[in-house]
């Protein structure tokens, strides 16, 4: 514990260094704006800034602090457009619109905005404590992981993301496999065989991570925005009272704390993300507190809970990324890609080899949270005015910056064309209801998954038994089965109960 506190102190030293503090401030601001703009979410923000941070030759810890600030900022910003125009700024803020927009319609937009900023802060703060307590332990435990355990762990990550996806688990499987398949393109380093390159030199190195992320997220988003740009609810003009009062804070307090803890736990599960956490927290609060049927009609508790969970989960998803090298969300998957640009492989060894990097990152999460709270309560007027930025300026800007990011890595036309092609394919897939988060997780984990499988089987000369030999891997396989079987069973049970109640 004393060790942890000492490391954390050094981490704050890194996070509070002038350049990193400035980057945290810039990142928090950009994040809030990107999160707020409908259509653009944390993945887009981080994906667009990642190659730029690399091209600016920022040192790795500074680049990570910038990206972290953008990520957390997005989770703060997503609620603004949820509340004001009933269009969630990012997926994690979907549940916030359910009660946030009705509050705004009743003239309580200011209260909804400020209480959600406060509960976002609490959510992140709870997660920060959780990270400080849990991450070093988990990292130490993870050192016992061999290739077989890693393979099982990655299967667990995919089980989490497909099992919790809800309506279309088969499509999530499809997405994950597509991502894994994309990762196999290029030279197989073990055998020297070129796979799926179709003889193209541009593909012999594999597909660039940046190209995949920007194509699938930014470019496809532009096409989705085009479809939706005509259907938007009229924006709320009057904000009303700006700050929540003490009674409102007391009313939401326990729900906020409960949801924060829930959000953190969901965030730590590899694969499951903020969208799932906020939906679960909202459902939980509705079940516990909705005695008068006010949820969905502008109940302040329905605004606080999902925001707390959303932010707690976003912060919590750093735990598996840092300790196991297996990202907990789509955005942390992108950050693993960012680290790989610096030739850094996240995992348990990172805590011993690069403690300043890890603890600087963790400390900067706390710093950015304070910055975001300060930014999000008094400066809300400035952000709301930015919602008026017209799409005919915004969209060409997104495309131009995306192209700069992709071009900065290798300076080839091929990558730009591939970005657009992946964007169009991504758009069609998203139209067909295929989720993108499992795809990007598959792409990030693909190489690691295959390498670990091959390494494990090399140990036993091809005997499959090694994959479920140790207690850790057995535990993980049980987790896989639970994650895959529980949601459909639960759904069937609740359907039967609903039918019984109706009869």
Smallest distance, Å, CB 313 to another protein? 26
Which of residues 157 and 262 has its CB atom nearest to another protein in the complex?
157
291 vs 461, beta carbon nearer another protein: 461
Would you give the DSSP letter of residue 234?
A: P
Minimum CB separation from another protein for residue 30, in Å?
A: 14
What's the min distance (Å) between Cβ of 412 and another protein?
8
Nearest to 67 by CA among 133, 105, 23: 23
Q: Is 484 left (phi over 0), alpha (psi -120 to 50) or beta?
A: alpha
Contacting residues toward another protein, per CB under 8 A:
52, 55-57, 167-168, 170-171, 173-174, 177-178, 180-181, 184, 188, 190-193, 195-196, 219, 222-223, 225-227, 229, 390-393, 395-397, 399-401, 403-404, 407-408, 411, 413, 416-417, 419-420, 423-424, 428-429, 431-434, 450, 453-454, 457-458, 461-462
Give min distance, CB of 189 to another protein, in A.
10
53 near 66, Cβ under 8 Å? yes
The three-point CA angle 305-288-109 to 5° equals 35
| Cα–Cα dist 37/35, whole Å | 6
- Tell which residue, 488, 100, 490, has the closest CA to residue 282: 100
**Comparison of 191 and 343: residue with beta carbon closer to another protein:** 191
| Nearer Cβ to another protein (219/261) | 219
CA-wise closest residue to 183 among 451, 477, 500, 482: 451
Of 112 and 279, the one with the shorter C-beta distance to another protein is: 279
The minimum distance between CB 188 and another protein, in angstroms, equals 4
Q: Find out whether 91 and 275 touch, Cβ atoms under 8 Å.
A: yes
DSSP one-letter code for 236: P
Q: Which two tokens stand for residue 37?
A: 């703009």
Partners of 195 in beta bridges: 186
Distance CA 149, CA 155 (A): 10
Nearest to 409 by CA among 480, 501, 341, 340: 341
> Measured from the CB atom, is 424 or 478 closer to another protein?
424
Minimum gap (Å) between residue 187 Cβ and another protein: 10
Candidates 372, 352, 359, 315; CA nearest to 14 is 359
| Shortest distance in whole angstroms from residue 37 CB to another protein | 13
Nearer to another protein, 46 or 366 (CB): 46
């Amino acid at each position: 514990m004393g060790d942890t506190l000492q490391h954390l102190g050094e981490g704050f030293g890194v996070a509070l260094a002038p350049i990193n503090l400035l980057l945290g401030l810039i990142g928090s601001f950009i994040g809030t704006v990107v999160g707020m703009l409908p259509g653009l979410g944390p993945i887009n923000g981080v994906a667009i800034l990642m190659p730029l941070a690399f091209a600016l030759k920022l040192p790795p810890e500074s680049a990570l602090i910038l990206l972290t600030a953008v990520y957390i900022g997005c989770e703060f910003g997503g609620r603004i457009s949820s509340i004001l125009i009933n269009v969630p700024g990012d997926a994690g803020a979907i549940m916030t619109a359910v009660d946030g927009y009705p509050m705004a319609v009743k003239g309580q937009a200011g209260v909804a905005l400020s209480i959600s900023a406060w509960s976002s802060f609490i959510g992140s703060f709870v997660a920060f404590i959780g990270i400080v307590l849990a991450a070093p332990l988990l990292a130490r435990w993870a050192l016992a992981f061999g290739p077989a355990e890693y393979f099982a762990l990655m299967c667990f990550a995919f089980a989490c993301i497909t099992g919790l996806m809800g309506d279309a688990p088969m499509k999530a499987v499809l997405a994950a496999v597509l991502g894994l398949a994309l990762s196999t393109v290029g030279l197989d380093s073990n055998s020297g065989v070129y796979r799926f390159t179709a003889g193209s030199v541009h593909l012999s190195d594999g597909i660039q991570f940046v190209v995949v992320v920007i194509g699938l997220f930014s470019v496809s988003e532009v096409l989705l925005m085009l479809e939706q740009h005509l259907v938007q609810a009229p924006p709320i003009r009057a904000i009303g009272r700006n700050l929540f009062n003490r009674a409102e804070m007391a009313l939401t307090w326990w729900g906020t704390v409960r949801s924060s803890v829930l959000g953190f736990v969901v965030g730590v599960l590899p694969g499951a993300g903020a969208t799932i956490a906020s939906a679960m927290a909202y459902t939980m609060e509705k079940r516990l507190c909705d005695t008068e049927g006010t949820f969905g009609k502008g109940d302040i508790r329905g605004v606080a809970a999902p925001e707390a969970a959303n932010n707690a989960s976003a912060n919590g998803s750093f735990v598996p990324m840092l300790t196991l090298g297996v990202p907990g969300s789509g955005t942390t998957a992108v950050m693993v890609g960012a680290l790989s640009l610096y030739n850094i492989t996240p995992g348990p060894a990172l805590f011993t080899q690069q403690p300043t990097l890890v603890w600087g990152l963790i400390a900067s999460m706390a710093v950015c949270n304070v910055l975001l709270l300060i930014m999000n309560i008094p400066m809300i007027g400035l952000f709301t005015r930015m919602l008026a930025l017209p799409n005919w300026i915004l969209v060409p800007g997104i495309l131009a910056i995306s192209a700069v990011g992709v071009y900065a890595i290798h300076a080839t036309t091929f990558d730009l064309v591939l970005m657009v092609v992946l964007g169009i394919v991504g758009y069609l897939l998203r139209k067909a209801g295929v989720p993108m988060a499992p795809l990007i997780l598959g792409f990030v984990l693909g190489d690691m998954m295959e390498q670990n499988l091959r390494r494990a089987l090399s140990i036993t000369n091809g005997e499959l038994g090694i994959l479920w030999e140790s207690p850790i891997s057995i535990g993980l396989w049980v987790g896989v089965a639970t994650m895959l079987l529980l949601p459909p069973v639960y759904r069937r049970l609740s359907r039967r109960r609903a039918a019984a109640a109706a009869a």
